[in-house]
Each structure stands twice: as structure tokens, then as C-alpha cells.
Amino acid sequence: MAIQEHMTKQNKYLRMVFDLRIKFDGIEIKGNHIKAKDFLNVSNQIANAIEPFCSYNMHVNFAETILTGLKIGGEINSVFNHKSFSSSLIKLQKTMKTSWKGYYTYEDAKDKFIFYAPNFHTATILD
């Protein structure tokens, strides 16, 4: 996938804010290093953008790490494909039979949107 130039530049008109949480019964992860890309069906670009803001609820059960929740909280001065991201969040909640709580925003020079969990329908943010 080609990364468009406007998606890699930091710009005062590009911004995304995340305040999302999900809890579930548990996913077994081999090893002790967890990455969002391991269980969210997102591109490398999206995974790299959100990874610094991800925190994981987990515990060790014998040789496996059991992941029981995820929080994505923070802000970036760039944007990525919000439709793809929302689809991935919805897929995870259906797979885990639970729901996200919170929201994330998308802002570029033209649009400002807020996406509310659990269905991630958009609402325009008015200035």
C-alpha cells in the first residue's frame, strides 16, 4: 500500500484523538511482547500510528500471555484511513463478543468527525 505524502507529514490540520477501551475474556498470545497488529486487522501504517498509545490488560498463565483488554488513548498529528480502522474495531468486538467504549476523532483541513463506540457511526464536529 502506498503511503500518501499528506499522511506522513505532521500538519496543524491533521489530527486524530483516541479514547477507546475494550475488555474481553482473553486471547492467548505466544510470547510476552504484544502489538496491536497481532490481533487488530489493520495496516502496518495504522498499527505503527496507534501502538505508542496502546496499553494492554494482561496476565501470564503458564507459558502464555492472556490479553484481557486494550486501551487506545492519545493524540497524533497525522491521519489514516478511518473507515478501515473502524471496521477493524468492529470486527474485534464481534469476535470477542464484547463492545468498545469511548470514541476517536478524525480531523483534516476539510473535515472534522467523531466516531463513537460501539458502532463507530460518524458525527460531524462543528467549530
Tell me if 2 is assigned to some domain. Answer: no
Structure-model confidence comparison of residues 78 and 13, the more confident one: 78
Total domains in the chain come to: 1
Overall average pLDDT of the 89-108 stretch: 94
Tell me if 18 is assigned to some domain. Answer: yes
User: Among the residues of 29-81, which ranges form H helices?
Assistant: 44-50
Q: pLDDT value at position 30? A: 76
Tell me if 15 is assigned to some domain. Answer: yes
Residue 57 grid coordinates: 490488560
User: Among the residues of 12-126, which ranges form H helices?
Assistant: 44-50, 82-96
> pLDDT tens digit string along 3-56?
444 444 456 689 999 999 999 888 887 776 788 888 788 999 999 999 999 998
pLDDT at 107 over 50: yes
Please give the residue range of the domain that contains residue 89: 7-124
Q: pLDDT value at position 85? A: 96
Mean pLDDT lowest for which of 30-34, 54-58, 83-87, 94-98?
Answer: 30-34
pTM given for the model? 0.82
Tell me if 1 is assigned to some domain. Answer: no
